[in-house]
Amino acid sequence: MEKTIKFNLNFDGKTIRTLEELKDNFFIEDVLKCYRNGLLHRWLSDREYAEELEKVKSITESEDLPLIKRLSDIFEVEFDEAIVSEYEKQSKKVSSIKPSPEPANSDSSSGYQQRTLDSFERYQQSISNAQERYLFLVDTIVENKTDIAKIKVAITEIDKYYYFMYELNYIDLFYRFREDAPAAIFVMLMNERMRQKYLPIQTIDEHGKYVTDLNKDKVKKCMYDHIIKLTTTDSLRKILGENLIEFSAGYTKGDWKTVESKRKRYLILKKMQEFGIRSAGVSGGEIWTDKCQFVILNGIDYKSSYSKNTLFYMEV
């Protein structure tokens, strides 16, 4: 069954999660917009407000004044007819504005201009809808900051449909998640595109030396330093809870030991001493000591010459 993500309404910049918040922030323009585009119905359904949803579905009014009165009754909000009448008056003023008439011989030009305008308006609406959904997903992650399954679903949707917005916002998003939903940072490190925004990338310079982009990108280095602080043993246990897997492997006597089969993928979270890892059964794909942190493997093979090593990882 496909997992659904509860989203919030946004009225006049305020996040609406409950009926009480909707009543306290009953802004006419926002309520009408959400009713007409179906978001109100979906929100009531997702939040399981069955009684209110049935009442909203039964509405037959279409004009602003009777419609807002009906919605006010449903949500038990005081109805101020003067305010609604003023809103209706201003709306009619805006809708009555028409473009200047075109010259009689400009039919094709006028049609082209109208199609261009329609296309631009559709584009604006699609951007507005995408931004709304992107913000809903971010709020969902914060609201479910300990639910890795829900975070994974939300991150996957952002990557698939709203990556262009993520690219504009990934730095601010990182610091919000660091404060309000640090587990989401580890989920982003599982994503092939997102992880490149936060982890060092190694290249070879003109002198043949290995260099990382952290040497020149101070913003990225700062974010990476914060990620490292989240990987102390105490922090990992607090942030990830039962999603953190710890394996006391110890000394393996020079042999490779299979810790996880290759049926699943895993993110390695901590460095250890004198050890190597590789995807399960993959000879020649060994990764050693300092290079191991945050690698993603298909299953895990482990080798160590240090008796007190513990492997820290989580399922992707």
> Domain check: are 287 and 232 in the same one?
no
284-300 average pLDDT score: 79
More confident residue, 299 or 126: 299
> Domain check: are 57 and 147 in the same one?
no
With respect to residue 118, please indicate whether it lies within any of the assigned structural domains: no
Kindly indicate the confidence band of residue 26, based on its pLDDT and cuts at 50, 70 and 90. confident
Quickly tell me which residue has 């000394």 as its tokens: 251
With respect to residue 255, please indicate whether it lies within any of the assigned structural domains: yes
> Domain check: are 154 and 232 in the same one?
yes
Cα-flanking dihedrals φ and ψ of residue 3, to 5°? -80, 140
With respect to residue 28, please indicate whether it lies within any of the assigned structural domains: yes
Q: Which domain holds residue 193?
A: 134-243
> Domain check: are 303 and 238 in the same one?
no
Q: CA 316 from chain center: how many Å?
A: 17
> Domain check: are 239 and 252 in the same one?
no
Residues 136-164: b if buried by 16+ CB within 10 A, e if exposed: bbbbbbebbbebbebbbbbbebbeeebee
> Domain check: are 200 and 229 in the same one?
yes
With respect to residue 199, please indicate whether it lies within any of the assigned structural domains: yes
Q: Which of 70, 98, 126 is the last residue of a domain?
A: 98
Number of folded domains that form the chain: 3
Amino acid identity for residue 49 in this structure: Y
Least confident of 88-102, 147-161, 210-224, 281-295: 88-102
Least confident of 85-99, 142-156, 243-257, 259-273: 85-99
With respect to residue 34, please indicate whether it lies within any of the assigned structural domains: yes
> Domain check: are 211 and 291 in the same one?
no
Predicted pLDDT at 105: 52
Within 10 angstroms of residue 188's Cβ, the number of other Cβ atoms is 23
> Domain check: are 160 and 76 in the same one?
no
Q: Which of 51, 82, 98 is the last residue of a domain?
A: 98
With respect to residue 115, please indicate whether it lies within any of the assigned structural domains: no
What's the token pair of residue 314? 């989580």
pLDDT, tens only, 236-267: 999 999 999 988 877 777 788 888 888 889 99
> Domain check: are 179 and 79 in the same one?
no
Predicted pLDDT at 249: 72
| Residue-averaged pLDDT of the chain | 81
Q: Which of 98, 126, 147 is the last residue of a domain?
A: 98
Least confident of 32-41, 64-73, 99-108: 99-108
With respect to residue 1, please indicate whether it lies within any of the assigned structural domains: no
* Distance between CA atoms of residues 125 and 316, nearest Å: 35
Helix axes 218-229, 163-180, angle to 10 degrees: 40
> Domain check: are 63 and 21 in the same one?
yes
With respect to residue 119, please indicate whether it lies within any of the assigned structural domains: no
> Domain check: are 200 and 175 in the same one?
yes
> Domain check: are 252 and 223 in the same one?
no
| 151 pLDDT above the threshold of 50 | yes
